[in-house]
Amino acid sequence: MVEVTVTPQSSLADRPVQIRVRGLSPSQLVTLRAWLKDEQGECFQSRAFFRADGAGEVDPGLHAALGGSYSGVWPMGLFWFLQPDTLFRRLVKRDVAGSPFRVRLEVFDGLCLDTDPREQPLASCEAERWYVGPGVQRVPIREGRVRGALFLPP
| Digit-coded pLDDT (tens) for 34-49 | 999 999 999 999 999 9
Peptide bond into 140 cis (omega under 30): no
Per-domain boundaries in the chain: 3-152
The set of residues, in sequence order, having a beta carbon less than 8 Å from that of 133 and lying 6+ positions away, is 12, 153
Which pLDDT does position 96 carry in this prediction?
Answer: 87
- To the question of domain 3-152 being in CATH 2.60.40.2240, the answer is yes
What are the φ and ψ backbone dihedral angles of 21, each rounded to 5 degrees?
A: -120, 130
Q: What is the pLDDT of residues 7-39, one digit of tens each?
A: 999 999 999 999 999 999 999 999 999 999 999
Query: Quick count: other Cβ atoms within 10 Å of Cβ 139?
Result: 9
Mean pLDDT, all residues of the chain: 94
Please determine, for residue 116, whether its predicted confidence score (pLDDT) is greater than 80: no
Instruction: Output the DSSP codes for 96-109.
Output: TTT--EEEEEEEEE
Read off the pLDDT of each residue in 40-68 and give the average, rounded to a whole number.
97
